[in-house]
Each structure stands twice: as C-alpha cells, then as structure tokens.
Amino acid sequence: MTTPTPVEILDLSSIFPNFVTKDNRPGYSGWILDKKYLLEFATKLRDEYGYDLLTSVTGVDYYPDDRMEVVYHAFKTIGGPVVNFKVQLPRQDPIEVPSLVSIYPGVELQEREIWDLFGIVFTGHPDLRRILMWEGFSGHPLRKDWKEAYFEEESKPFKSRWPEGKLIHAEDNNKFSDNISYPKEFDPEKWVPEGEAALYGALAKYEHTSSDGIKSDNIVINLGPQHPSTHGVFRVTVVLDGESIVNLKPVMGYLHRNHEKIGERNTFLQNMPYTDRLDYLSSLSNNFGYALAVEKLMNIAVPERAEYIRVIMAELTRISNHCMALGALFNDLGTFFTPLIYLLEERELILDIFEAVTGSRMMCNYFRFGGVARDLPEGTYEKIKGLVFERLPRKIDEIDRFMSDNEIIRSRAVGQGILTAEDAIRYSATGPLLRASGVPYDIRKADPYGIYDRFDFDIAVRQNGDIYDRYLVRLEELRQSVRIIQQAIKGLPGGEIQTGKTQYQVRVPAGESYGRVESPKGELGFYVISTGKPSPWRYHVRAPSFINLTPYGYMCKGQKIADIVAILGSIDIVLGEVDR
C-alpha cells in the first residue's frame, strides 16, 4: 500500500497578491480571479506549480444577483487535492471571458457547452458553436430566468399533486398540447431554417493537396446518429481524402435529457434515481459520486459496514462495465458478437446480484446520504464469494486466451489511434484512456475516497497509448477489481448501514462541493452548490465520456475510415453521460 505523495496546499493570494482573493462565502472554498489576468494565471499554474490536469470547467448563474461565474478545477497528475478558481462576471450581454484552449486544450468542448447553456462568450475559442442543442434554438436554457415549456413551480414537490391532485397532464396545460413554446417574434411562414451551415462551415477550413501536387476535393460524410455500432446516438462528421481522414468533428446532443435543469428542480434525495441514468452501464458508481459530494456538504460519516458494501458494489460495477466495454470494442474490431456474448454471460450473473440486493438490474438507486438503503439479503454473501473466488478469475483468463494473441486483433489494434502521455494530460483525458498512455493517475490511489486506502491493489498502466493497450489496461483492471472484492468480502464487518434515521427531507447546509470518484470510464465529478433550501442551486456533472471525446479528432487524423470506429470503441463512451 503506497501513500500518495504529499502535495503542499498553495496560498494563491500571497503568490499573486494583485488579482487573486480567497473566496470567503460561507461553505465555499477556492480563489476568485480578475478575468483580465486569467491567461497569465493559468500559464503560471501549469508551468511553475505543476497543475497540469484541468479537469472541469463549469458555469453558474446567480440570478437575481447581477453575477455569473465560471468555475475551474485543476489537479496535479502526481496526486493531491484540488485548486479551485473562479472568475466572476456581470450579468449583462455580451458576457465575455478569455478562452483557455491555448493553454489547456481539453476545455474546448466544455467551453462550447457553457456558451450553449449559459450564453457566456469565450473570446479566442477556435470554434464556438452550440454543442448540446441545435443551432437556431432560442435562448440559453440553464439561465435562471429561462423557463421550459412544461414549467410548473421552481422546485418539487408540486402543489398540484396533493392534496387536491386532479389528474391533469402537463400537455393539457400547454397551448400546443406538447412540450413546445416559441418566442414571440416567430412567424412560421416567414422563417427560413439555417440547417447545418455552421457545422459544415467549420469543417470547410481544411484544404488538402495530395502528395503529387494535384489539388483534389474532399468528401464530407456523416456517420450516425443511427448506426450499427452499440454506442448510442452519436454522430461523426468526417472530411475524407480517399479513405484517410483529414478532419473529424463529433456532433452530440441527440440524447440531451436536461439532467442538470431537472436536477435544480429536484430535492437532493430525488436526484439519486436520476444519477443512475447518467452512465447507465455502471449506475452504482454514479450514485457513489453524488453521495460523496452531498455528504461533504452535510459533513456526516458513513458506518463501517456501509463503506465495505459501497466498495464491493462499486467494484462489481466496474467489472460489469468493463465486460460490456470490451465486448463492444471487439464488436467494432470485427468479431461479430461472439466475445460480446461470452462477456455478457458474466455480466448477467453480476446483474443478478444487483437485482437481489438493490431491486433492479440496471437502475440501482442504492446509495443514500450516510450509508446505503438496504442490507444484503440472505444468500448474497455466498453468491458474491462464489463468483469472485471461483468463477471470475477463470473467465478473465479465458478471455485473455481467447483474444490477446489473435493476429487479426493485433494487426488492427497495435499502433493505431496513438495518444501520447503529454497530449493525454493536455486534453484532460482521465481513466483507462490516460493510463494506457503511460500516466499512472487513478483517483483511488491519488486522492483516496471511502476506504480505498485500506486495500492492496495495483494501478494498471501501459506505455504505448494505442487501442491494444487500452484493451490490456481494462483487462488488468478486471483482475485488480476481483482482488479488491476478495479483500473486502473477507473483511466485511457487521453493524448498521446508515447513520441517523432515514428521512426524505434532507437538510443540506449552504456551500459548494466537488465530489469525484474513479468511475470505470474516468473521473466522474459532481459539483453541487446548495443555498440551504431543499433543492440544489446548481448541479453539474463532470462527465468522463464527454471530456474523453476531446482528443478524438486529434487521434483520428491520418487514419483510415475503418479505424475511427475502433478508436471510438476504445475510448468507451456512453451517450447518457456525454449528453446528460
């Protein structure tokens, strides 16, 4: 068991006395900057102080105060706590902030999202277009004064359900009997659709002359949103020169389910079932992240037995997710369904355990603030023991024998889609994508949460950063997860499973918190701001699949079109998380 390298906590207001002040609001932490010095500050933070991984950028609207904020979280790849800095802006259009894309290229997609949902303009961004909604949509939805078409009340529970609950559907209250509202100036007969002009305009900047000096045209092809791969509704627009890729732009937002806006209307407990549906293949780690973020605000401890059960469930989720991810990757590499079916057998046995303990195969809704919801029923302990000690090690070796030496897989995966270590850190990649490129950054070791510091396990790292290495990293993580569960289940103590009484009205004191876990896809973070009311003021999800897509275009330049599907499979995305 290694302890993480101790990292000293910087006092930034003494290092930069002119433009950095400490954030002294009750319950808040971090530093407030003046936006004119943002670029200088960020360059110094990265080069002199070593904070090279900027994981999260998000916006907050403080209506009716005349203020909007952009909040940044930065980490060091050798481990340690966060540096959290904010820029405050007056709330009058146009709201402008300098873009950090030249220093940390990983913020590119996140800044586009803040423009889309809040209307904050990032000057210097190479391609500032809407990302989750379509071009031409009216308004910026996450602003506090923008109401959706089915708006009833600011926060739940709604008065129309009890005690006089007349069954009136939301459609009946809307004049179009659907979830639609148009701005006042809209005239359907005079309006002209602008279509995809912005997207194709952004792609058209790349001219290409072939090597013998003949100028040739490039083709633009759309792959998706409906396509035979199992990754979901995801669209990729590629510019091709023959079969090689010149440029590639992902288009997302086809599954944007307004998780953050609904999260602001829900109470804290009501948000827990919604977090299941973010990364729907590994719902228990989403629950874990959200429970950590709110427990930090509430400042409550979790009993021992609940901590052990949490670790067992989180690692079982990791195994079940990697089974699906490896199966989908082999599907993309051309083995039509056979390894996927073999791996889904193991996943089905794990889902049986989830169904017996939590009640549902996929949407588990099992964690509560201060523990877990139910205790393990009869027979589950023996089932988990049997799986982990006898069946899973044998099956992981079988998959290794089945696929690792296969000549076709090796020729398609070795040396393709390379991402070097420096590029991976600059593009804010986390999870198996980062570890396959040679950076041993795992939050369970770098910044341990729960009781992970008591278990003995290794970090899976490979050096080359190609598709084959990402497969090997996930296979190794399967073995390490089995090792952790073996230790946890041997040491499972008795006792209670939740501190305090179960109650549905949770009192969360005011403040902000950023809770993060090592989900199977990368770093999953929840940024929650509470004002003491039953519902959160701002609720943001730092989604690993979304941010791991930032280097996708960069990894695919020069590859053939058959490879981009394999590279997408090795990044391992889930659309519920990408679009939220």
From the list 512, 459, 516, the residue with the least C-alpha distance to 483 is 459
Work out how close the CB of 491 gets to other proteins at its nearest, in angstroms, rounded to a whole number.
21
The neighbour count for residue 472, using CB atoms within 10 Å, is: 19
Please answer whether residues 305 and 497 qualify as being in contact, where contact means their C-beta atoms are separated by less than 8 angstroms.
yes
Please report, as residue ranges, which positions from 366 to 385 form the binding site for other proteins (by CB under 8 A).
Answer: 373-374, 377-378, 383
Question: Is residue 355 involved in binding other proteins (CB under 8 A)?
Answer: yes
Work out how close the CB of 164 gets to other proteins at its nearest, in angstroms, rounded to a whole number.
6
Question: Is residue 148 involved in binding other proteins (CB under 8 A)?
Answer: yes
Question: Is residue 492 involved in binding other proteins (CB under 8 A)?
Answer: no
Q: Which is nearer to other proteins, 203 or 373 (CB)?
A: 373
Length of the chain: 580
Work out how close the CB of 538 gets to other proteins at its nearest, in angstroms, rounded to a whole number.
17
From the list 373, 375, 377, 360, the residue with the least C-alpha distance to 502 is 373
* Interface pick for other proteins out of 333, 576, 577, 578 (rule CB under 8 A): 576
Please report, as residue ranges, which positions from 178 to 207 form the binding site for other proteins (by CB under 8 A).
Answer: 178-184, 186-189, 191, 193
Please report, as residue ranges, which positions from 267 to 326 form the binding site for other proteins (by CB under 8 A).
Answer: 269-274, 277, 280-281, 324
* Interface pick for other proteins out of 266, 430, 480, 513 (rule CB under 8 A): 266
Work out how close the CB of 445 gets to other proteins at its nearest, in angstroms, rounded to a whole number.
30
Question: Is residue 514 involved in binding other proteins (CB under 8 A)?
Answer: no
| Separation of alpha carbons 170 and 161, rounded Å | 12
| Separation of alpha carbons 468 and 461, rounded Å | 12
* Interface pick for other proteins out of 112, 256, 538, 542 (rule CB under 8 A): 256
Question: Is residue 561 involved in binding other proteins (CB under 8 A)?
Answer: no
DSSP 165: -
Q: Is the dihedral of CA 60, 121, 255, 279 positive or negative?
A: negative
Work out how close the CB of 196 gets to other proteins at its nearest, in angstroms, rounded to a whole number.
10
Question: Is residue 150 involved in binding other proteins (CB under 8 A)?
Answer: yes
Residue with the two structure tokens 């943001």: 540
Please answer whether residues 45 and 51 qualify as being in contact, where contact means their C-beta atoms are separated by less than 8 angstroms.
yes
Question: Is residue 214 involved in binding other proteins (CB under 8 A)?
Answer: no
From the list 492, 452, 495, the residue with the least C-alpha distance to 315 is 452
Q: Which is nearer to other proteins, 151 or 206 (CB)?
A: 151
Question: Is residue 506 involved in binding other proteins (CB under 8 A)?
Answer: no
Work out how close the CB of 393 gets to other proteins at its nearest, in angstroms, rounded to a whole number.
12
Residue with the two structure tokens 């701005």: 183
Quick check: helix, strand or coil at residue 298?
A: helix
Question: Is residue 173 involved in binding other proteins (CB under 8 A)?
Answer: no
Please answer whether residues 310 and 288 qualify as being in contact, where contact means their C-beta atoms are separated by less than 8 angstroms.
yes
Q: Report the alpha-carbon angle 85-87-91, nearest 5.
A: 150
Q: Which is nearer to other proteins, 46 or 347 (CB)?
A: 347
Please report, as residue ranges, which positions from 106 to 125 form the binding site for other proteins (by CB under 8 A).
Answer: none
Sheet-wide strand order for 31-33: 20-22, 31-33, 83-89, 68-75, 53-61
Quick check: helix, strand or coil at residue 238?
A: strand
* Interface pick for other proteins out of 11, 40, 243, 345 (rule CB under 8 A): 345
* Interface pick for other proteins out of 198, 262, 298, 459 (rule CB under 8 A): 262
At 255, list the tokens. 């599954």
Question: Is residue 154 involved in binding other proteins (CB under 8 A)?
Answer: no
Question: Is residue 501 involved in binding other proteins (CB under 8 A)?
Answer: no
